[in-house]
Amino acid sequence: MTGRRREGEERHWATIALERRALADLVATLTPQQWATPSLCPAWTVHGVVAHLVSVQEADRRQLAGAVVRGRALPPRVVLALAADLDGWSGADLADGLRRHAGSRFHPPGLGARSALTDVMVHRVDVAVPLGLPVDRPAAHWTPVLDFLLSGLPMLGSIRGGRPRLRYRATDVDWHGGRSGRGGPGTEVSGTAAALATTIAGRPALVHELDGPGVAALRAWVGAGAAS
């Protein structure tokens, strides 16, 4: 790893720790009804989403091995099994877990810090939007997430394939990425970094905040995923 890349990783880990603590602050005062609210992840309530974020840091080798067996070694199922291990945790326990593991540097093999940052940033939206809570994180925190989502690296089966070839431009931070298909200029989508990342990650909740001639294709893709 080069010095510049190492510095970038260190910045990402510092941001991850900050975002985990910020999410802990957000959920610390939720009511039991709010914890039971369905999240933007169809398989999970708000409790399940936060349990997922904590469980991947909390699990020891024995617990991980058990989840691998229950999940038949399929990464999406293993993730679900790990989160289910914390079904009995209270909201306060989960908030404490986020804080306790804020500085953890665990990440899926080969994916690096950006994968861990993507996990906490996108899942914050999964929790906040259904509860009507703000998604007002610094736009600069989203740019490594956008780069990761468009990098082609595996996401443990959590993002559906077939996303249209589009160019993306953030309106609240200096970032652009993606690539055009044969449609040329007609394939651009613009919007806040949060709305872009959330939609590229397969969530339709903020697609209405996007603009540009490529939005229709992106909306069709994300809508098909939500309906399946």
* Cα–Cα nearest to 19, from 111, 104, 108, 132: 104
* 187 close to 169: Cβ distance less than 8 angstroms: no
Confidence at residue 156, expressed as pLDDT on a 0 to 100 scale = 46
* Cα–Cα nearest to 203, from 112, 138, 121, 134: 121
Q: Is the pTM of this model over 0.85?
A: yes
- pLDDT band of residue 74 (cuts 50, 70, 90) is confident
Given a cut of 50, whether residue 113 has pLDDT beyond it is yes
3-state secondary structure of 137: coil
User: For 115-172, what is each residue's pLDDT tens digit?
Assistant: 999 999 999 999 999 999 988 999 999 999 999 999 877 454 456 678 888 999 999 9
Q: What is the dihedral of CA 161, 163, 167, 168, to 10 degrees?
A: -90
* 47 close to 94: Cβ distance less than 8 angstroms: yes
- Higher pLDDT, residue 41 or 8: 41
The Cβ of residue 42 has, within 10 Å, a number of other Cβ atoms equal to: 9
User: For 31-70, what is each residue's pLDDT tens digit?
Assistant: 999 999 999 998 899 999 999 999 999 988 888 888 888 9
Starting at the earlier edge strand, list the strands of the sheet with 167-170: 176-178, 167-170, 188-191
